Amino acid sequence: MKNRGMRQRLGFAWEGIAAAWRNERSFRIQTIFALALPVALLLLRVSAVWWALCLIIALLVLAAELFNTALESLIDHLHPEIHPAIGTAKDCAAGAVLLLSAGAVIVGVIVVLVALGVLS
């Protein structure tokens, strides 16, 4: 399974994203927010730095959600039984998504305040 071509690797990565879209409601919601983001940034008329910051944090949230989904999928397959350690692992993964989502909300509020001239 090693040393596959770039096209095949991209296909695997795309399949992972598509699987998360099919199976995870939260990933679908986050993706819709990320797709709406460029429209919001165009309307707010913010600088390139704000574009970069907002797009990076939106992609980080999506990436964290994919890691969370990967971990859940792996754990549920390898160890379907209840165990406190599994609970901790899943809670930590969910916590990582929560922290990045909170960061995205904070950046979103700041960029709106900057666009409105409340902050500089």
Stretch that binds ligand ATP, among 14-22, 28-36, 87-95, 99-107 (CB under 6 A): 87-95
Q: Return the DSSP state at 118.
A: S
Question: How far is residue 90 from each of residues 9, 45, 67, 100, measured CA to CA in Å?
Answer: 27, 39, 11, 16
Q: Does 72 bind ligand ATP (CB under 6 A)?
A: yes
Question: Is 65 a residue of the active site?
Answer: yes
Min separation Cβ 46 and ligand ATP, Å: 32
Instruction: Give yes or no for a contact between 104 and 53, defined as CB atoms under 8 angstroms apart.
Output: no
Ordered DSSP codes for 63-90: HHHHHHHHHHHHHHHH--S--HHHHHHH
Is 90 assigned a ligand-binding role in the annotation? yes
The type of residue at 64 is A
Is 83 assigned a ligand-binding role in the annotation? yes
Q: Does 86 bind ligand ATP (CB under 6 A)?
A: yes
Q: Does 94 bind ligand ATP (CB under 6 A)?
A: yes
Stretch that binds ligand ATP, among 2-10, 29-37, 47-55, 89-97 (CB under 6 A): 89-97
What's the CA gap between 104 and 56, in Å, rounded? 9
Min separation Cβ 62 and ligand ATP, Å: 14
Binding positions for a divalent metal cation: 24, 72
Catalytic residues: 65
